[in-house]
Amino acid sequence: MLTIPLIQIGFGGVGRAVVERVLDARDEFEWRMGLEFEYVALCDSAGAVIDQNGLSPGTLRRLLEHKRQGRSLAESEVGYRHEGLLDIVDLAGSPEAIVIDVTASDDTVPALQLALDRGYAVVLANKKPLAGPIEVFREFTGSGRLRYEATVGAGVPVIATLQEALLASHDTVHHIEGCFSGTLGYLTTGLEQGVAFSQLVGQAHAMGYTEPDPRDDLGGMDVARKALILGRTLGWPLELEHVEVEPLYPAELGEGSVEDFMNAIETLDESYRQRVQAAREQGSVLRYVASLQGSEARVGLQTVPQDSPLGRLQGTDNLITFHTEVYNETPLVLQGRGAGVHGTAAGVVADIVALARCRK
């Protein structure tokens, strides 16, 4: 039996789902793979819990409950207020350790760097460390000890397909197109059904499908980071500012409070209605698409044929099409649940297992 210590940075929706999944899979991973995972450190933005002998399943379940009640790990019985992530990696780490970043923060980069320098492995659901300067992307991914499946398409195995099926077989990727935002998928499906843009944004906001400020989704930057990660995985020397981004609202609505924004978006309804109508007259629909071709990436609203994989996509699912030398006339298509903590946690756990297997 190989025991792998886990250090997890972030204990929000995805972080809790990862811990639950690792706990639930304990017996199966032992008999099926001869692997035992043991949490040695867990932290949120303020607090940490560390035990080099491994946090027991009972302690982890109590911490899950504590955190679900909206309290910081710093306030838990076994927790303390941490003074930075470097100390946590330093204190809890060992050469076999895997560090899991399930935050949405840039601040984790130095701790991830330290972990990789020490020979630990790293799993990311957090896109930001791979969407900063390209040198960091190259250094991190070049280590061979970092996996990042959940950064694009949540649990849909987009990165594994690209790396382990296409690039590893010396296939040539000509063109990638995908819908990578459940929120924007919800909006474009609703527009197609004739619902007003402002009403859709209001509903998505009320149901918690958007960030607290919907402009964070509608601005397209989250999709742009995913396109950047895909382009870099293809080997393209892209920076975030090279990705052409079409936001779904004009620059003047970028100022002001969320309330101001929500009150002003009715002014966009008519232009979206006209765009949907113009697309329909050509047998097409609007989708918010990330498109990569010829070393360039762009994200924005595109008119796609109704009878195409992207055109048939409905609701919050994610979809990616790879047009390659091998998958030429018919592209390779992956589709599935693209948002939600459980799908994302599944992608993270699959990466943890893949890295652990390399250590056997």
Enzyme catalytic residues: 226
Is 332 a binding residue for ligand NAP by CB under 6 A? The answer is: no
CA distances from 306 to 35, 284, 310, 311, 312 (A): 46, 5, 8, 4, 6
Residue nearest to ligand NAP (CB): 12
Residue 103 touching ligand NAP (CB under 6 A): yes
φ/ψ of 100, rounded to 5, equals -115, 120
3-state secondary structure of 343: helix
- Mask for 53-82, x = binds ligand NAP (CB under 6 A): -------------------x----------
Q: How far apart are CA 9 and CA 268, in angstroms?
A: 40
107 binds ligand NAP (CB under 6 A): yes
Q: Is 14 in the site for ligand NAP (CB under 6 A)?
A: yes
305: nearest Cα among 291, 287, 329, 293: 287
The reply to whether 105 sits near ligand NAP by the rule CB under 6 A is: yes
Write out the DSSP string of 185-218.
HHHHHHHHTT--HHHHHHHHHHTT-S-SSTHHHH
CA distance 50 to 311: 48
Interface residue with ligand NAP among 102, 122, 265, 353 (CB under 6 A) is 102
**Site residues (CB under 6 A) for ligand NAP, limited to 140-179:** 150, 154
Can residue 344 be called a binding residue for ligand NAP (CB under 6 A)? yes
> Would you count residue 11 as binding ligand NAP (CB under 6 A)?
yes
Q: Is 340 a binder of ligand NAP (CB under 6 A)?
A: yes
- Binding status of residue 198 toward ligand NAP by CB under 6 A: no
- State residue 286 phi and psi, 5-degree precision: -95, 135
126 binds ligand NAP (CB under 6 A): yes
| Residues 208, 297, 293: CA angle, nearest 5 degrees | 130
- Nearest approach in angstroms of CB 115 to ligand NAP is 14
The sheet with strand 80-81 has its strands ordered as 80-81, 47-50, 35-43, 2-9, 98-101, 121-124, 146-147
Measured from the CB of residue 225, what is the shortest distance to ligand NAP in angstroms? 9
Q: Which stretch binds ligand NAP (CB under 6 A): 53-61, 119-127, 277-285, 314-322?
A: 119-127
CA distance 155 to 340: 9
Distance CA 44, CA 85 (A): 10
Which of 33, 38, 45, 54 is close enough to bind ligand NAP by CB under 6 A?
Answer: 45
Residues in region 204-243 near ligand NAP by CB under 6 A: none
Binder among 15, 129, 231, 311 for ligand NAP (CB under 6 A): 15
**What residue ranges bind ligand NAP (CB under 6 A)?**
9-15, 43-46, 72, 85, 102-105, 107, 125-127, 150, 154, 339-341, 344
